[in-house]
Structure 1
Amino acid sequence: MRWRDERGIVHACEGADIHPDVRAYWTLCGKEAPNDCVYLSEREAISCPLRQQPSRAANDP
């Protein structure tokens, strides 16, 4: 899932049902994503600079 913020940056998102009929979404970089703006796209590139950095665990010896 993706969300394009007001600056045009595309974020990867996750979501969860927090109550019957209530779903919350957030970005993998820690921002809240508006429910009505999250969309499914596997082809659109993620442009969030925080998600483009290698993870710390991947660089550990």
Structure 2
Amino acid sequence: MADRISYIGLDVHKESIVVATASSGLRGEVREYGRIANTATALDRLLKKLGGDGIR
């Protein structure tokens, strides 16, 4: 099975982080995923939600 690659963009601010995602390939559409608090806990939850067990 081929790996699926997703790109994650983070626009970091003092109080929050705006998250965008894009899939690999030439036509990978960039979509705003949402806004999270700028905390280690919120970032950890985001990574688990987006990547599950497949984070490398």
Q: TM-score, normalised by structure 2?
A: 0.37
Q: Which is richer in strand?
A: 2
